[in-house]
Amino acid sequence: MGEALRKIDVIDTSPAFTQADADALNARFAGVDTLDMLKTLFAEGILGNTAVVSSFGTESAVLLHLVARANPATPVVFVDTLRMFPETLDYRDLLMETFGLSDSRTVKPDPVVLAAKDAQELRWSYDPDGCCEIRKVEPLKRAKAGLDSWISGRKAFQSQTRQNIARFEIEDGRLKVNPLGDWVKADLDAYFDENDLPRHPLEAEGYPSIGCQPCTSKVLPGEDPRAGRWRGWEKTECGIHVPEKPGEEPVF
């Protein structure tokens, strides 16, 4: 660890992080083992009030296991869109208990908004962006209120839209941490095997990437791992990794 893990005093841990903070952290932790980085971030209080956001998908166990090893009291935020696979909800409970993560926080869509904007529960079929906005983006925005930073499970290899992911980014004034940004599929599989982590029950059935039940389909051999998400639509992200634009109204 040595020089890379020296405590530095140039990082502002107030709620408003700057790009300079992210740049300094990226420089400091370049090449540092992921677990060592997480342990240091928690030990030094660099992240301030933070939480890990997890979809409890097929790769989620790796980040959650690493976070549990670094600080098992870290809050884990899960957005239950009310359209999740039952297997995902069961997997969430299994991982939280197995890894000893003690702070589970589930946030759901606003029932008033759902009644007004998706009373028939069919918005996904004609307006997937609007459906994601009311069922995932807005609930997560509420969950992140008051956080100084948050920890994401994004990885560059997952799709072409996720290339060049830095470990530390600035998003809406918060520090966004991507501990697995430079991990590849082989790294994840090796970590699963080395630590005997439970697999999502739907992975073996052909679902390498899992979101809401209506908008997730099986992936054929040779397809992009996220090809089964919003199949048939020019949509690749739910919207939670897209920074807000000043003055932009929600897509309702």
| Residue 127: Cβ-neighbour burial (10 angstroms; 0-12, 13-18, 19+) | middle
* Catalytic site positions: 238
Cβ atoms < 10 Å from Cβ of 207? 22
d(CA 212, CA 204): 17
* Domains in the chain, CATH or no CATH each: 14-203 (3.40.50.620)
d(CA 82, CA 131): 11
Q: What is the pTM of this model?
A: 0.85
The one-letter amino acid code at 107 reads V
In a 3-state reduction of DSSP, which class is residue 104? strand
pLDDT tens for 151-181 read 999 987 654 444 568 999 999 889 999 999 9
Helical axes 86-99 vs 60-70, angle rounded to 10°: 20
pLDDT tens for 7-16 read 334 443 445 7
d(CA 138, CA 125): 19
d(CA 243, CA 189): 30
pLDDT tens for 34-93 read 999 999 999 999 999 999 999 999 999 999 999 999 999 999 999 999 999 999 999 999
